[in-house]
Amino acid sequence: MITPNLHYADLKSSYLFYNIAQKTKAYLAENPDKKLYRMGIGDVSLPLAKSVIAALHEGVEDQAFKDRFHGYMPECGAPFLRTAIADYYRSRGIELGDDEVFVSSGASDELGDILDLFDRSSSALVIEPAYPAYVDANVMAGRKIVHLASGIDNGFLPEPSENAKADILYICSPNNPTGAVFKKEQLRKWVDFANENGSVILFDAAYEAFIEDEELPRSIFEIEGAKTCAIEICSLSKTAGFTGTRLGYTVIPKALVRHGMCFNDMWVRNRTTKTNGVSYIIQKGGAAVFTSEGQKEIHENISYYKENARLLMEALDELGIWYCGGKNSPYIWLKCPNGMGSWEFFDLLLKEIQVVGTPGEGFGACGEGYFRFSVFGSREDTVEAAERLKRLLR
Ligand code: MLT
């Protein structure tokens, strides 16, 4: 009899956001007259930018003509999009070759797929609380996970520790779920640590566009030495509203080499084997994000979400509830009031005021007692949710 991947037995029975979706679905089935205020999963509510829509239409139109039609796309990304992304980095002072940029179908897909580059005997360090897919994807592969807890005392931004070494180091900044952002000097310590130990940093930069404080790094490649120890994974989901459209990109510098093997070459080998590239139409839409008009439009949307964050933070201030994030990030991470557990608080908000958030415990044990709000809802829903929170918790 075939042996399935037995490591699946080591996973929690269901994935965090699936769990929440099931709970809210059950609540709605019992209370069909209720409207929910969704601030759980970070799914956007604003439509795609006008210039993206125009480019998507053009892409569709191209497919109607023999001389403009595109079949299979290059596996590592359309040259026009790889150039646009490399130029985006260049505009921020980071020099990359177009062939160091890979187009992906989204950061969450890529975070799982990229693990093909590492031996199964390698270990993975996860700074907790953490995006749960980091842990689950490695559990599925049977890798040893090294948990590094963070908390209020270190601003949820721990330093590397000799007691928590691993081969793969996950760093997410701005952080999901805490919204905390590493400063350059803090990231430098991680880069030095990775280079000294021969580790590789998987830098999740999905929320880089939300950073408004200019001195904060938006890419690991702003740090000297990062090209020999880091892979950066990025997404247009939150930045440009592509959660349903699906598009992301990954930077693998040619200088990243271990045991004489170049990770960039390996990823070319992997992609050319395992994908036929992202659809032309979607890449055409994605390229519009990197034009000056596209950048202006997506930043208008980001400002809208930031205003949602401000409204929620104002409510939490009024209630005297501790929180972080919200300023350089679309997530607000708060301490559950009155010593409540995070699922207990989830149930209270769902049942009493129909507000859906994400329990901190879902991001790892040290998230217990905390709760996350995402700010991607509509303005009307955010205003109403803030009012409901104030009424319930005052
Ligand atoms: C989140 O809410 O943490 C994210 O939206 C989930 C994801 O990006 O897959």
Question: Which residues contact residue 49 at a Cβ distance below 8 angstroms, ignoring those fewer than 6 apart?
Answer: 240, 241, 288, 289, 294, 297, 298, 301
Query: What are the tens digits of pLDDT across the range 305-341?
Result: 999 999 999 999 999 999 999 999 999 999 999 999 9
Residue 144, SS3 per DSSP: strand
Domain boundaries, the chain: 6-48+294-393, 50-291
Report CA(115)–ligand 1 centroid distance (Å). Answer: 19
- Between the alpha carbon of residue 341 and those of residues 85, 320, 365, the distances in Å are 42, 18, 11
The CATH architecture that domain 50-291 belongs to is 3-Layer(aba) Sandwich (3.40)
The topology under which CATH files domain 6-48+294-393 is Aspartate Aminotransferase, domain 1 (3.90.1150)
Which secondary-structure segment (H or E) carries 127?
Answer: strand 123-128
CA angle 239, 78, 59 (to 5 degrees): 75
**Dmax over Cα atoms in the chain, in whole Å?**
66
Atom of ligand 1 nearest to the CA of 41: 2
Using most ligand atoms within 8 A of CB, pick from 15, 41, 234 the residue to mutate for ligand 1. Answer: 41
Ligand 1 pocket, CB under 6 A: 41-42, 108, 131, 176, 374
| Peptide bond just before 129 cis, omega within 30 deg | yes
What are the structure tokens assigned to 140, written together? Answer: 């599925």
Residue 366, classed as helix, strand or coil, is helix
Residues 145, 124: Cα–Cα separation, whole Å: 5
CA distance 382 to 355: 10
pTM here is: 0.97
> What does the pLDDT look like over 245-280, one tens digit per residue?
999 999 999 999 999 999 999 999 999 999 999 999
Q: How confident is the prediction along the chain (394 residues), in pLDDT tens digits per residue?
A: 999 999 999 998 888 999 999 999 999 999 999 999 999 999 999 999 999 999 999 999 999 999 999 999 999 999 999 999 999 999 999 999 999 999 999 999 999 999 999 999 999 999 999 999 999 999 999 999 999 999 999 999 999 999 999 999 999 999 999 999 999 999 999 999 999 999 999 999 999 999 999 999 999 999 999 999 999 999 999 999 999 999 999 999 999 999 999 999 999 999 999 999 999 999 999 999 999 999 999 999 999 999 999 999 999 999 999 999 999 999 999 999 999 999 999 999 999 999 999 999 999 999 999 999 999 999 999 999 999 999 999 9
Among protein residues, the one with the nearest Cα to ligand 1's atom 4 is 42
3-state secondary structure 45-114: CCCCCHHHHHHHHHHHHHCCCCCCCCCCCCCCCCHHHHHHHHHHHHCCCCCCCHHHEEEECCHHHHHHHH
Which of 16, 39, 108, 131 most suits a substitution to test ligand 1, by most atoms within 8 Å of the C-beta? 131
How much distance in Å is there from the Cα of 69 to the middle of ligand 1? 34
Tokens of 77: 């990304």
**Centroid of ligand 1 to alpha carbon of 43 (angstroms):** 7
Residues 6 or more apart whose CB falls under 8 angstroms from that of 151 comprise: 366
The CA distance from 176 to 181, in Å, is 10
